[in-house]
């Protein structure tokens, strides 16, 4: 019996669409029937994860569990979440799940170790993701060195992330270029796009550099899980 991917999405909707697109493009298929069945619950009503982590905002887990329940009713074979910050809550979700989760941060860290051995990753993400150390721990476990943006650089990232969430098309590359130069000076050799809006930022602004896209790594891991 063929396996099915379940996407616990909506955080945000464009990032969810980006993941689905990457699954389709990366699947080795010569016709429709060669593709993997994908069930998507894109729930944009899930409360903001960064606000919940840093400001005591509304807990997103109840809405996430609702989506999880819907996916499991569809008998999905694995569950993936196109939201790096949401992985802060993954252990709480796993307590209720009967289906394996594929951890976006873990597969990204392993990919970094394979692609850039001995190099230092510059980690981009939401303030919630970076302040909780989600990526730092995952990278350390994979033996990958990393550096984070300074406060000014983090403000640039959050501005870009929320402008994409708001549906804006970005055109001014200068703030991102300055951030990259500062992080290169701090030791970064390449950059992890550790928020699912950031691959869209890079696609729109097309800055020169080496990047690891966790959305693509999650797609690759889910495809491998289903085709093994």
Sheet holding 4-9, edge to edge: 37-42, 4-9, 78-80
Taking each helix axis from N to C end, the angle separating 198-205 and 13-26, rounded to the nearest 10 degrees, works out to: 80
Question: Which entry of 31, 74, 78, 83 is annotated as an active-site residue?
Answer: 83
For the chain, give me the number of helices (H) and strands (E)? Answer: 11, 7
Question: Which entry of 78, 112, 195, 226 is annotated as an active-site residue?
Answer: 195
78 is catalytic: no
For residue 12, whether the previous peptide bond is cis, meaning omega lies within 30 degrees of 0, is: yes
Q: How many CA atoms lie within 13 A of 19 on its CB side?
A: 34
> Which tokens in the block code for residue 182?
């500062």
Strand bridging mode 211-212 / 190-194? parallel
83 is catalytic: yes
Kind and range of the H or E run holding 85: none
- Name the nearest CA neighbour of 201 among 181, 176, 220, 174: 176
Residues with a known catalytic role: 83, 195
């Amino acid at each position: 019996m063929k396996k099915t991917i379940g996407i616990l999405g909506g955080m945000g909707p464009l990032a969810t669409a980006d993941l689905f697109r990457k699954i389709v493009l990366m699947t080795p298929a010569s016709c429709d029937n060669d593709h993997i069945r994908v069930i998507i619950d894109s729930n944009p009503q899930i409360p903001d994860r960064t606000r919940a982590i840093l400001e005591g905002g509304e807990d997103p887990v109840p809405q996430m569990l609702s989506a999880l329940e819907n996916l499991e009713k569809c008998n999905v074979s694995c569950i993936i979440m196109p939201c790096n910050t949401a992985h802060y809550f993954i252990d709480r979700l796993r307590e209720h799940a009967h289906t394996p989760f594929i951890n976006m941060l873990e597969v990204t860290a392993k990919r970094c170790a394979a692609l850039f051995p001995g190099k230092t990753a510059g980690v981009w993400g939401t303030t919630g993701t970076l302040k909780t150390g989600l990526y730092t721990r995952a990278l350390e476990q994979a033996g990958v060195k990393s550096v984070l943006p300074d406060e000014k650089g983090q403000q640039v990232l959050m501005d870009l992330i929320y402008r994409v969430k708001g549906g804006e098309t970005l055109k001014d590359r200068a703030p991102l270029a300055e951030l990259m130069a500062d992080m290169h000076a701090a030791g970064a050799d390449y950059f992890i796009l550790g928020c699912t809006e950031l691959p869209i930022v890079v696609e729109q602004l097309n800055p020169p550099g080496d990047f690891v896209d966790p959305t693509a790594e999650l797609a690759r891991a889910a495809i491998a899980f289903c085709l093994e």
